[in-house]
Copies of this chain bind each other. A is one copy, B any other.
Amino acid sequence: MADIINKDAAAPRSDLQETTPDQEEPPHALVELIELLFFAYRDFTNDPDTILDEIGFGRAHHRVLHFVNHYPGLRVADLLDILKITKQSLARVLKQLVDEGMIEQRPGPSDRRERRLFSTQRGQKLARRLMEPQLHRINKALKLSGMESEEISRKLLYNMINTHEHEAIEELFSRQRS
């Protein structure tokens, strides 16, 4: 009687997952890996937030500044492809970065419709400052995870990315080695 009125956690109900119908339960180890990825990314992206708050920028500004700084001369279209956001979303933060003197735009050398993007010295300085705690976090984690961890995790992350993006990423990475 009291059980029905007062149904608390000690009194299971029929439609709850507790009574586990358990068709094909997913492997715990993999589920935990997913959760670890969530926690790691959560803390990783939190690193630059304090700095960003000080200067009135957000994570969106950080992402744009990072890629422009690391790949000077990037076009707007490249950035859209990298970030997978719309032109309008990008425009909002890009405009602010240009206004604040972090990024400069110049017409493309062969096609003058293009706006090639470059970080200024201030932009570069900020980009590095924002990346610093993230590099530190990764470095620390790699050291604690053994010699092979850098190569293995590089492979794993690469293989987690949509296959049809692989070519674009190879090309992006090759830019900055040239």
Chain A residues engaging chain B, CB cutoff 8 angstroms: 6-11, 13, 15-18, 21, 26, 28-44, 46, 63, 67, 69-70, 72-73, 84, 104, 106-109, 112, 116, 118-121, 123-124, 128, 131, 134-135, 137-142, 144-146, 148-150, 152-162, 165, 169, 173, 176-177
Nearest B residue to A108 by beta-carbon distance? B9
- Once the chains are docked, how many angstroms separate the CA of A31 from the CA of B149? 15
Query: B17 near A118 (CB under 8 angstroms)?
Result: yes
Query: A9 near B41 (CB under 8 angstroms)?
Result: no
Taking a contact as CB atoms closer than 8 A, the residue among B17, B37, B46 that contacts A44 in the complex is B37
Nearest B residue to A141 by beta-carbon distance? B159
Query: A9 near B155 (CB under 8 angstroms)?
Result: no
Residues of B within 8 A of A17 (CB): 69, 72, 118-121, 123-124
- Once the chains are docked, how many angstroms separate the CA of A63 from the CA of B38? 9
- Once the chains are docked, how many angstroms separate the CA of A72 from the CA of B59? 33
Residues of B within 8 A of A9 (CB): 73, 106-109, 116
Nearest B residue to A47 by beta-carbon distance? B162
Residues of B within 8 A of A134 (CB): 34
Query: A160 near B141 (CB under 8 angstroms)?
Result: yes
Query: B160 near A155 (CB under 8 angstroms)?
Result: no
